[in-house]
Amino acid sequence: MNKLLLTHHIKQKAKEIGFDSCGIARAESLDEEARVLEAWLNQGLHGKMAYMENHFDKRIDPRKLVDGARSVISLSYNYFIDVKQQDPEAPKLAMYAFGKDYHEVVREKLELLFDYIKGEAGGINGRCFVDSAPVLEKAWAKRSGVGWLGKNTNILTKGQGSYFFLAEIILDIELEYDSPVKDYCGNCTKCIDACPTDAIYEPYKVDAHKCISYFTIELKDEVLPADYSGRFENWMFGCDICQQVCPINARADKHNEPQFEPRKELLEMTRKDWEELSEETFKRIFQHSAVKRTKFKGLKRNIQFLRNR
């Protein structure tokens, strides 16, 4: 099958499986992105996420992840929901964390697409990635035209917004490549102005170790820094503020993935329920959730921090 036809079939199959966008870029060294990443790390803007320093060569060159890599397929998968927690005083979860762990859901879809490509293209070599390896997801999404990099450093798609997960398939075959899309952020600075911890310190640049998501998910310290008390705006796991204020997200449509539907019990929990959360309840409601990443101890730390605001 010629590469033009194969590329068409891949994109058509990706849509059938449930992916919202599918873009393809040439697998090559990310030289410009490497310089930006190196400077970011040297400034310590990754905080205590030491893993960001590992496998630098693999992060900037997909050919070191897949021998003979020639193409990077970048995909997006919508997780937007149109329901909220019922108690306005309840500690808040980032929207992506309400449903089943996206690693499991998107990985399953990605494997289906990969199996399809192998069936169509024959003996090929490749790997699938869902936020689980040293891959610069946003760089590939930008290069492949899935979206542009917003001023909050999220990938934005016109008509869809930014409430989606990214995933990649790196292959050792050549395909038809897409081009980057226009940046529609313009003069808007709503995400920068709304960030309560000033993590977006200038357009397109984020100081991760000031981000609420960093504090509530990545930081493993027993105590959160007192000088940030009162600045979390009641977020106990992650933060959606810079997405909520983004005009592009005004057009966001609800996802079509049943596994992302939030548990009724989760939406009904009151502030008191969260403050009295037991480990048994934590394990039950977050059994297949990305929230497991904080562990019970970490989530209780976050909730206690909010109580002290």
Q: Would residue 131 show up in a list of annotated catalytic residues for this protein?
A: yes
CA diameter of the chain: 63
Q: How far apart (Å, rounded) are the C-alpha atoms in residues 178 and 269?
A: 45
- Point out which residues pair with 21 in neighbouring strands: 76
At 223, list the tokens.
Answer: 């105590």
Where does the chain have alpha helices with state H?
Answer: 3-17, 31-42, 56-60, 102-121, 137-143, 190-194, 212-213, 241-244, 264-268, 271-275, 279-285, 295-307
Helix (H, G, I), strand (E, B) or coil at 50: helix
Q: How far apart (Å, rounded) are the C-alpha atoms in residues 2 and 174?
A: 10
- Point out which residues pair with 75 in neighbouring strands: 22, 167
61, 87, 131, 183: the active-site residue: 131
Q: How far apart (Å, rounded) are the C-alpha atoms in residues 74 and 274?
A: 37
At 250, list the tokens.
Answer: 């005004």
List the catalytic residues. Answer: 131
